[in-house]
């Protein structure tokens, strides 16, 4: 599937610019359709230098304009958890298969992003406009995979070349994840798109409220705020908002919350925290989307 450069060209390029990223493409096609640049039928591996300086990353408005024309884009750049391996489907979401899902993701430096071909929508490839990564020639084979390791902060727009004008485009934003200084909390809540590193302070109050089903993570799939600080002895109430959808509140290490899924607005879960510590919870049906929260008790 790949039109990767020959080994000689690859080594010359690596010697000139150094390798800050690794990419590979594996195709499920017949042996006669093996990628160029392989010696024994294995995957072609390329090295490239990220050409996007984070200080020169495109402004928000041009990026929004770019994404406005992307099939399957729902208005949110979905943050992926550090040390995860995000997967983007190639040829999904729309009836004609001309979309990446998710088309817009944010990852931490050092993250390997994998693109999986679904077999829908005809011939596709994955090509960065800044030249950072390129899966090679187009392919329609279900099961084809391509991956790239992003090592430096930056903004990388990409397309499927045959379908660029039809809206098959995406973006990978590489940025340091937000941090509150509470490592346990950060590792858990960073996957939530509405977490910006802030732990909202509700100390000095007897009752604190967390809204359930606020906008985030590609829909009404977030807690607001996702991170809360309270005093020992404070009661936290989880209040479902209007049209929030089916959610629950389940804690990781304590007997609190409720596994029951609620849809009606109002307070359905409450707990009084007596012992200092960091308590992690999630909505089980939507945890994988990033619907996570934390309570810090002082």
Q: Which residues are annotated as a binding site for Cu cation?
A: 247, 283, 286, 291
Order of strands across the sheet that contains 266-273: 219-224, 207-216, 234-240, 266-273
Q: In sequence order, what DSSP letters do the residues of 268-291 get, joined into one string? A: EEEEEE-S-EEEEEE-GGGGGGT-
The kind and range of the H/E element at 198 are none
- How many residues can be counted in the chain? 298
Q: Are 255 and 275 in contact (CB under 8 A)?
A: no
Distance CA 143, CA 141 (A): 6
Which residues have CB under 8 Å from 199's CB, separation 6+?
Answer: 180, 182, 185, 227, 228, 229, 294, 296
Residues of each annotated binding site = 247, 283, 286, 291
Q: Are 19 and 47 in contact (CB under 8 A)?
A: yes
């Amino acid at each position: 599937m790949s039109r990767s450069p020959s080994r000689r060209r690859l080594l010359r390029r690596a010697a000139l610019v150094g390798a800050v990223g690794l990419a590979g493409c594996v195709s499920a096609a017949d042996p006669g359709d093996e990628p160029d640049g392989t010696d024994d039928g294995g995957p072609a591996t390329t090295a490239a230098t990220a050409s996007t300086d984070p200080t020169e990353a495109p402004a928000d408005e041009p990026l929004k304009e770019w994404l406005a024309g992307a099939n399957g884009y729902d208005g949110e750049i979905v943050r992926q958890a550090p040390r995860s391996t995000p997967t983007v489907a190639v040829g999904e979401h729309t009836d004609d298969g001309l979309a990446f899902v998710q088309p817009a993701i944010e990852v931490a430096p050092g993250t390997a992003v994998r693109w999986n071909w679904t077999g829908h929508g005809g011939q596709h490839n994955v090509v960065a406009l800044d030249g950072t990564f390129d899966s090679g020639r187009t392919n329609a084979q279900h099961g084809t995979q391509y991956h790239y390791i992003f090592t430096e902060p930056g903004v990388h727009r990409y397309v499927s070349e045959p379908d660029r004008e039809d809206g098959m485009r995406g973006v990978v934003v590489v940025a340091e994840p937000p941090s509150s200084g509470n490592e346990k909390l950060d590792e858990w809540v960073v996957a939530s798109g509405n977490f910006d590193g802030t732990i909202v302070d509700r100390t000095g109050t007897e009752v604190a409220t967390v809204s359930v089903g606020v906008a985030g993570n590609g829909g009404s799939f977030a807690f607001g705020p996702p991170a809360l600080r309270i005093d020992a002895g404070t009661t936290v109430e989880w209040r479902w908002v209007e049209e929030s959808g089916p959610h629950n509140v389940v804690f990781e290490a304590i007997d609190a919350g409720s596994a029951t899924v609620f849809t009606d607005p109002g307070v359905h879960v409450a707990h009084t925290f007596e012992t200092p510590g960091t308590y992690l919870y999630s909505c089980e049906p939507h945890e994988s989307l990033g619907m996570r929260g934390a309570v810090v008790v002082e």
